[in-house]
Amino acid sequence: DSDPLTNPFSLMEGMISCHTGWLESVGMMLPMGFLLGLGYANVLGDPNDIESLRGTIHGFFSEDSSIPDPGTPYYGLSGALRCLSEGSGQIAFLKDNTISDYCPEEETDQREDWCLENSRYVALPSFAKAPSDVFVYNPDYFQKESISNVMNLLISLSEEQGSSDMLFNTFGTRGVVETNSEDHLGIYSSLVSSIPGISAYYVDDEDGEEVTIYLEELRIAFQTSDTSNGTDTDPSHLAGFLSNELGVNVSVIHVESDMQAVSSLESGDAHLAFVGHLASVIGWKMNGLAILAAIQNDDQRLSSQVSGWTLSDSELASYATDDDESTNPFDLISGMVSCHTGIDPYSSLIAPLAHVIRNGFLVMSEESKSNSLDDLVRSYFSNDSSIPSQGDSYYGESGAIRCISEAYGQIAFVSENFIDEHCVDDSGSSADWCMETDNYTSIGVLGIIPTTSVMYNPEILDTRSRASIINALIDMNYDMYLENYSRPGMGTYTGCYDITVHKVSYEIPKESCGDEILKNVLDGSGVARATSQGHLGQFSDDLMSVPGAFEALEGHLTSVES
């Protein structure tokens, strides 16, 4: 579609894939090396075990993906194409001439029975070249002069029909050309080295010591304040945990904003960064960064929701709660005075706009595509809609709810739990304008806000190191700090308890235990494996459905920095 923000390789996640066979070059090694190397997928399991590739394929694609054995119908290039043709898969990894070889348009008698019309097959962008077979020698035992003689002889075989036929019958080729290892195998080598376990064959220590991370020092970009130094929220606790897990030094690079963290990854100053959702999607779509993991909310989800809210005695609320399929609250909201938070472009403006555009309530004309987000909101809702600036009475989520509570507006857009958390009945802590919670009704979810992303630069951080880092981060999930915990007949424990091995480490300080780091440093309940598409895909789709959304995000993040 000529859109630099769309990428077919990102959309492969979750699809049923058709591979040519286990460790087959074209159908498995090259596509997985490409997807892992560029950060579309992450290794699941031991980065030093080739068997981790099977779980990685099923984790990124689908449990139903085809990894056929020799002799089965979907084995080989023809089998992968057949898998796609018969609807058993959604994407097949083939050579550029596979379709013409097995489904030639002109020679109908040569077409396989399962071939579809050739127009049904669409070639996605080429991502790798599979080298042809080679003649290999050992330079320790073959003199240079002899090498030259043999090479010239092999090249000359293509000059005469008889010797050319011999080449074809023996090697399946009519000719041999001169090349070298780097020219012929260089790109292939860089791709397959991303496969788990492959590097162990030619990189690891000759003494057999297993390599888990190539870095001598892991640098993490983290946004902190001076007040966190020496406290439970100090990111040095995270650095210490990872250093113990990985066996390398881990340092923290302090940054002032999420966009500075993105810049540090892009430049290579940092290997890892913890980044909020707005800068994460910019880093992914605009800067080529990728996501390794995501921080879980207190409810262990990887996102929160933006919802529309109205007063319970309104017609809008009755449409939302009447269980009548013929009534839809979104049929009513055009022309209403809306209350927006003004905090950031997404939750304030883009989420409601994306919802009404995607569902056909707002049809974009060529003229309207050039409007600002504010103009789009006011043209669909009302010229009197509240789009506040910081310091205004109706600024923020509390301001948006105050806006409908004081009857200025008819609909507000805030996070799903805001009213329950801030207009608590009989608590005495609610704002004066708060009504009781049953006076507010949600008309539905409009969009999602992804949690903090753990980002990296796939051009700098290798797949083996990534796998080791994510495994180390996830280990925090299994730590629990116990204080004076008693078990009958077992005594009383105080220390960091590892639930995977049922062992208490008494020497680990409370602030350095995994669950405490998650709570105090990362402001979450756990770490989960994630990919860019999986974590940010829906959020990105919302942005792409609204003209000017990405530009508005960039402008907002730039203004925050300044």
Pair 550, 433 in one domain: yes
As averages over each run of 10 residues, the pLDDT of the chain (562 residues) reads 87 97 95 95 89 95 97 97 98 96 90 95 92 90 88 91 90 89 87 82 57 86 85 95 95 95 97 97 96 95 95 94 89 95 93 94 80 92 95 94 96 92 67 89 94 97 92 96 82 89 92 96 96 96 93 89 70
Dihedrals phi, psi of 261, to nearest 5 degrees = -65, -45
Q: Return d(Cα 312, Cα 442) in angstroms, integer.
A: 9
Q: What is the dihedral of CA 390, 394, 398, 404, to 10 degrees?
A: -160
* Sheet strand arrangement including 503-505: 479-487, 491-498, 503-505
- Which residues, listed in sequence order, are joined to residue 493 by a DSSP beta bridge? 485
Whether residues 337 and 256 share a domain: the answer is no
Q: Look at residue 276 and tell me if it is in a domain.
A: yes
The reported pTM is 0.87
The pLDDT of residue 200 is: 64
Are 192 and 241 members of one domain?
no
Residues 72 and 198 in one domain: yes
DSSP 48: T
**SS3 assignment, position 486:** strand
**Does residue 286 share a domain with residue 317?**
no
pLDDT in tens, 79-127: 999 999 999 999 999 999 999 999 999 888 889 999 999 999 999 999 8
CB atoms within 10 A of CB 309: 24
376 and 274 assigned to the same domain = no
Question: Coil, helix or strand for 471?
Answer: helix
CA dist., res. 190 & res. 192, Å (int): 6
**Do residues 295 and 307 both lie within one domain?**
no
Quick one: pLDDT at residue 426? Answer: 55
Q: Is residue 127 located within the same domain as residue 206?
A: yes
Tallying the residues shown for the chain, one arrives at 562
The answer to whether residues 310 and 441 touch, using CB atoms and an 8 Å cutoff, is yes
- The whole domain housing 106 covers 1-134+179-211
> What is the CATH number for 469?
3.40.190.10
Is the Cβ–Cβ distance between 266 and 213 less than 8 Å? no
By C-alpha distance, which of 548, 542, 535 is closest to 41? 535
- Residue 318 to residues 152, 314, 325, Cα–Cα distance (Å): 86, 7, 12
pLDDT tens digits, 512-539:
999 999 999 999 999 999 999 999 999 9
pLDDT of residue 204: 52
pLDDT at res. 191: 86
Q: Where are the alpha helices (DSSP H) in 381-506?
A: 396-405, 418-422, 463-475
